[in-house]
Every structure is written in structure tokens, then in C-alpha cells.
Amino acid sequence: MNLVFASGFLFPQKVVGGNYFQGLSSKYPDACFPEVPVAGTVQQRAQTLADQIAARFPQGEVDIVAHSMGGLDARYLLSHNLLGLADPGRVVSLSTIATPHHGSPVADLLVGPQPDSKDPRSLAYEAISRTLARLSIPFGALGDLTSGAADRFNQENTKLEHIRYLPYTGSGTGSFVLKPLHTYIASCGITEEEKNNDGLVSVASAKWPRDLVEPPWPTDHLGEVGHNLNSLDRTLTFDHLAAFDRVVQNAVAPGP
């Protein structure tokens, strides 16, 4: 079983006090955890991802499990068949967790002119700006995550029929820093799936190219990969390791 865990935007695979995918390197010691440019474009990240997958698993079938922007990196890798990884017998499945396949209202709000004080979005802009500053996320880096960019990306990076795509996501609150973003995304939504979100990605945006494999996980974007910024010991009430067990089992199980 050749497993790859592709990380999302800005945060590296290895961080002080833990890993991006908390606890997974011990659970899956033979897996590949590629280190990609944390603030790079999808194209840059995808090439680095391909290089490290090919070096770690030069032959045999590969299953990719990707969180957040890592799912876009993997989709680009596959649609462009980087290093032959989309050839039959290489990557056989891509599981995406809270990947913004259809963009994010947060990116739409922040990329572009700042709303003036009379714009009802101005209060949300200020609150979200402070949140992203606390997370050290630059606004310009969100350009690939706008709804317009997502539309173009989906047209240029379609699914491949011989690869299994398995989408998952979360829906709920957790770490305090994501709550303003959670509230804003919910306020922008029209359908329930557009309103329900994990603080960065709505359920509607995470669904590509099919319905979710299972109901949304009851946690936020950070909790999905084992992080909780509300407590000093960072303990979670959500069992992310059990959730990843299901993701892996579904990925390697034979099926359409």
C-alpha cells in the first residue's frame, strides 16, 4: 500500500510541536508526506508533489489522501499526468478532505478592493482580516481559491475516468481563530450545503466530482487534521485518526 498524504496551504508538513497531519506518521510509517512550497501556486506545488511521490514510489499503485489545497495540487498533477503518475497502474485514487473545489467566499471577499465603510461586508472584511493575520495568511495568496479561479481550474482539470475520486469534508466549529470565517461563509450561503462549512471550506465546495463519501465530520478545518488551538494540550473531541482510517480503507478497497 503506497500512501501519500498531501498537505494544504501555508502550513508545512512538519511544524513545531507536531506535524500537519497530527499522529498520522506514526500510524502510517511507510507513507509519503511530501513537503511542498507552503505559499506556492497550485502549479508549483503540484510539480514538487509529483517529484516526491515519484522518488518515494518509483513504481506500483499509489493512493493520495489530500487535505485542503493539497487536493487541488493532486488534481493538477493528475490532469497534467506529471511524471506519468496518471498512467494506468500508478495513482489509482485521490481522496480529498475539505478541498475548495468550487472556491471560497472568504477568498472572494479578500482578493480585490477593500469594501468601503458603507458596504455591509466591511465589518466581515475587518474581522476576517484580523483572523488571517493571526494565522499569517497573506491575502494575495488566496487568489487560486476564489470562485472565478475555481471555475477556470475545474474546466482545465477534469476528472480521469480510471481514477477513483473520494471527497470528504468537515462542518462545524472548533478553534476560535476560525469562527469569524465560519460565520461569514454561513452568511453568504443560499443552500444548506453552502452555509455548512468548516471555517474555510463549505460542504458544497468540497463536493467534487461526486457526493461526499460520508456525512461531514463534526469539526473545523484544523480539527480535520488533528489540531485544536483552544487548549494548551491541543486535545480534540473529534477522533481524526479514526476518520483517516476510514478514508484509507475506502481508498484501498476495490471498487468503481
pLDDT > 70? residue 200? yes
The mean per-residue pLDDT over the stretch 109-120 comes to 72
The yes-or-no verdict on residue 18 having pLDDT over 90 is: no
CA pair distance 105, 200, nearest whole angstrom? 9
Name the CATH topology of 2-252.
Rossmann fold (3.40.50)
pLDDT score, position 105: 87
Identify the pLDDT of residue 12: 65
- What interhelical angle do 147-156 and 69-79 show, nearest 10? 30
Long-range contacts of 27-34 (CB under 8 A, 24+ apart): 27/241, 27/244, 27/245, 28/3, 28/248, 30/1, 30/3, 31/3, 31/4, 31/5, 32/2, 32/3, 32/4, 32/5, 32/56, 32/57, 33/4, 33/5, 33/7, 34/4, 34/6, 34/7
- The whole-number average pLDDT for the span 67-76 is 96
Across the chain, which distance is largest between two alpha carbons, in Å? 58
> Residue 167: phi, psi to the nearest 5?
-90, 145
> Binning pLDDT at 50, 70 and 90, where does residue 121 land?
confident
Lowest mean pLDDT among 47-56, 86-95, 130-139: 130-139
pLDDT tens digits, one per residue of 126-173 = 777 777 677 666 655 577 888 889 999 999 999 999 999 999 999 998
Q: What is the CA radius of gyration of the chain?
A: 17
Does residue 103 carry a pLDDT above 70? yes
Give the range with max mean pLDDT: 32-46, 64-78, 137-151. Answer: 64-78
**Confidence band, pLDDT 50/70/90 cuts, at residue 15:** low
Q: Supply φ then ψ for residue 41, to 5 degrees.
A: -75, 165
Confidence class for position 119, pLDDT limits 50, 70, 90: confident
| Three-state DSSP state, 165 | strand
Residue 154 pLDDT = 97
Provide the pLDDT confidence category of residue 229 given band limits of 50, 70 and 90: confident
* pLDDT > 90 in the chain, percent: 62
Residue 211 has pLDDT above 70, yes or no: yes
CA distances (Å), origin 66, targets 71, 92, 110, 176, 248: 5, 14, 25, 24, 11
| Residue in this structure with the C-alpha cell 475548495, named with its chain if needed | 100
Is it the case that residue 234 has pLDDT exceeding 60?
no
Return the residue matching grid coordinates 501519500. Answer: 4
Is 205 a residue whose pLDDT tops 80?
Answer: yes
CA distance 51 to 146: 27
* Placement of cell 494548551 in the chain: 232
